[in-house]
């Protein structure tokens, strides 16, 4: 009965769209006047509208006519810290007065300011604070988002953050991937016992949180004001023993050879990379680790060192682009603005930026079922109020996502 097909929430048909399939890294893989059909949340067919097989005739009644507009895979924000309480607008003012980020952190502000606010917040308050941030991403086409813990730094508090992240996904109908970032800062209780903190995270927190189904990956802030390479190594060994993938905040403010360390452990991604050297780039290339570029924090901190984009490109390292949405260094609630910044500040092409928030962002999360338009993949789709892929990086702001589908169901 046609009624049933019409009512199916995760089946549908798009007609007369300019499909950017992103089938390979060198092109947009455009299909002009394309049709795309999906059932049960999966893409079943795509090709020229005139060649749509009769098997999808039942979907025509609910078809969306794109009238030639652009359709891309759902966007993927592969690096955020969007669950937190409070804000750090006062630090923004301080930094504008010339006080440095590291100086603010060493004086007890920075990450620790957000830790105090986050510890004091209930699970419901954290959820209420995070929802508009996740919604802002969804409204502009994000259908998968990675969210890190790291602002509670107690076992229960980190679990609370991760539960909130999972609940955001369930509530908005998008997919959330959860990353443990307990090695973000040393909590005050462990100020004189760093090694004991790292021990607790590795031997106790990690297995417990994993057993609760709260972890998809493990990350660390490997930095002069964060954790050393040796401490990161211990965490990665513990993650490996549990079969959990790792990623790393690497070489953002200083070169602790984080990229090479991430590569050594076969990390899914190494993120930031402003201070990464040639050896780090070569190691990423060999390991197949994705470089996640985060221009929001580069911009907000008014950094001078850019990630070695030309070297990454020449070495064939896949580059993803993410918002790094966090209250301190990247209060950026827009993945499209991150794409623009990746082009304007880091020299990516708009094509690279688009691959960076789709196919390569999927790879940075270890997900092979999304990020391109292809039969068998998830029906994560965005119909844009735009004609060309370059427009997604070109327009600064604006409500360009006309329709958003996640797992085949309409979310906007
Ligand atoms: N790198 C960053 O840019 C953020 N965390 C991190 O590991 C900073 C987070 C903050 O300042 O709150
Ligand atoms: Fe970050």
Residue 258 Cβ inside 6 Å of ligand 1? The answer reads no
CA 105 to ligand 2 centroid distance, Å: 15
Residues 80 and 68 in one domain: no
Question: What's the pLDDT tens digit per position in 96-117?
Answer: 999 998 899 889 899 999 999 9
Residues 57 and 129 in one domain: no
Residue 249 Cβ inside 6 Å of ligand 1? The answer reads yes
Neighbours of ion ligand 2 (CB under 5 A): 324
Residues 84 and 70 in one domain: no
Question: What's the pLDDT tens digit per position in 16-33?
Answer: 999 999 998 889 999 999
CA torsion sign for 152, 155, 157, 162 is positive
pLDDT on residue 9: 83
pLDDT on residue 354: 98
Residue 281 Cβ inside 6 Å of ligand 1? The answer reads no
For the chain, what percent of residues have pLDDT higher than 90? 95
Residues 276 and 383 in one domain: no
Structural domain for 61, as ranges = 3-74+372-410
Residue 1 has pLDDT above 90, yes or no: no
Residue 114 Cβ inside 6 Å of ligand 1? The answer reads yes
Q: Whose CA is nearest to atom 10 of ligand 1?
A: 328
Residues 252 and 397 in one domain: no
Residues 80 and 56 in one domain: no
CA 158 to ligand 1 centroid distance, Å: 16
Question: What's the pLDDT tens digit per position in 138-185?
Answer: 999 999 999 999 999 999 999 999 999 999 999 999 999 999 999 999
Residues 231 and 295 in one domain: yes
CA 252 to ligand 1 centroid distance, Å: 10
pLDDT-derived band at 284, boundaries 50, 70, 90: very high
Residues 188 and 330 in one domain: yes
CA 250 to ligand 2 centroid distance, Å: 10
Question: What's the pLDDT tens digit per position in 294-343?
Answer: 999 999 999 999 999 999 999 999 999 999 999 999 999 999 999 999 99
pLDDT on residue 102: 87
* CB-based contact 301:101 (threshold 8 Å): yes
The packing angle between helices 123-139 and 155-172, to 10°, is: 40
Residue 333 Cβ inside 6 Å of ligand 1? The answer reads no
Q: How far apart are CA 20 and CA 52, in angstroms?
A: 17
The predicted model scores a pTM of 0.97
CA 239 to ligand 2 centroid distance, Å: 19
CATH number at 292 reads 3.20.20.140
pLDDT on residue 5: 42
CATH number at 9 reads 2.30.40.10
* CB-based contact 20:392 (threshold 8 Å): no
Indicate which ligand has the atom closest to the C-alpha of 324.
2
Residue 376 has pLDDT above 70, yes or no: yes
| Residue to probe by mutation, ligand 1, list 223, 254, 326, 327, most atoms within 8 Å of CB | 326
Which atom of ligand 1 lies at the shortest distance from residue 301's CA?
3
Question: What's the pLDDT tens digit per position in 209-220?
Answer: 999 999 999 999
Q: What's the domain count of the chain?
A: 2
Which letter does DSSP use for residue 202 in this model? Answer: I
Q: Whose CA is nearest to atom 7 of ligand 1?
A: 221
Mean pLDDT to the nearest integer, 239-266: 97
Mean pLDDT of all residues belonging to the chain? 96
Residue 2 has pLDDT above 60, yes or no: no
* Angstrom distances, CA of residue 332 to CA of 6, 277, 308, 391: 38, 27, 22, 19
Residues 224 and 265 in one domain: yes
Residues 157 and 241 in one domain: yes
Give the list of residues 6+ apart from residue 235 with CB closer than 8 angstroms, or none: 183, 198, 201, 202, 206, 218, 220, 227, 246
| Residue to probe by mutation, ligand 1, list 153, 297, 299, 303, most atoms within 8 Å of CB | 297
């Amino acid at each position: 009965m046609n009624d049933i097909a019409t009512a199916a929430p995760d089946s549908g048909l798009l007609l007369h769209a300019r499909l950017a399939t992103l089938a390979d890294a060198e092109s947009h893989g455009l299909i002009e006047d394309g049709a795309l059909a999906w059932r049960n949340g999966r893409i079943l067919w795509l090709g020229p509208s005139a060649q749509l097989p009769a098997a999808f005739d039942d979907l025509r009644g609910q078809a969306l006519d794109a009238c030639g507009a652009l359709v891309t895979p759902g966007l993927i924000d592969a690096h955020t810290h969007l669950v937190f309480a409070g804000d750090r607008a006062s630090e923004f003012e301080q930094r504008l007065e010339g006080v440095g980020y590291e100086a603010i952190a060493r004086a007890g502000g920075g990450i620790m300011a957000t830790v105090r606010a986050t510890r004091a917040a209930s699970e419901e308050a954290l959820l209420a604070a995070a929802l508009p941030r996740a919604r802002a991403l969804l409204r502009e086409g994000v259908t998968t988002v990675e969210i890190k813990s790291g602002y509670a730094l107690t076992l229960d508090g980190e679990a609370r953050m991760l539960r909130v992240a999972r609940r955001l996904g369930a509530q908005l109908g998008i997919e959330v991937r959860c990353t443990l970032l307990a090695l973000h800062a040393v909590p005050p209780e462990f100020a004189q016992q760093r090694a004991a903190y790292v021990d607790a995270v590795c031997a106790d927190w990690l297995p417990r949180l994993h057993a609760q189904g709260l972890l998809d990956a493990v990350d660390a802030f490997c930095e002069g004001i964060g954790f050393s390479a040796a401490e990161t190594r211990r965490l990665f060994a513990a993650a490996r023993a549990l079969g959990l993938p790792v990623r790393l905040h690497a070489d953002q403010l200083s070169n602790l050879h984080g990229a090479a360390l991430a590569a050594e452990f076969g990390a899914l991604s190494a993120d930031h990379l402003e201070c990464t050297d040639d050896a780090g780039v070569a190691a990423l290339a060999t390991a197949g680790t994705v470089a996640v570029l985060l221009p929001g924090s580069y911009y907000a901190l008014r950094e001078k060192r850019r990630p070695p984009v030309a070297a990454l490109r020449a070495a064939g390292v896949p580059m993803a682009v993410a918002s790094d949405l966090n209250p301190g260094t990247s209060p950026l609630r827009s993945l499209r603005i991150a794409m623009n910044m990746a082009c304007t500040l880091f020299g990516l092409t708009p094509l690279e930026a688009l691959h960076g928030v789709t196919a390569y962002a999927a790879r940075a999360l270890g997900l092979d079922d999304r990020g391109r338009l292809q039969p068998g993949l998830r029906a994560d789709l965005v119909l844009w109020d735009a004609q060309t892929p370059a427009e997604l990086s070109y327009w600064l702001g604006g409500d360009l996502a006309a329709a958003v589908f996640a797992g085949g169901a309409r979310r906007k």
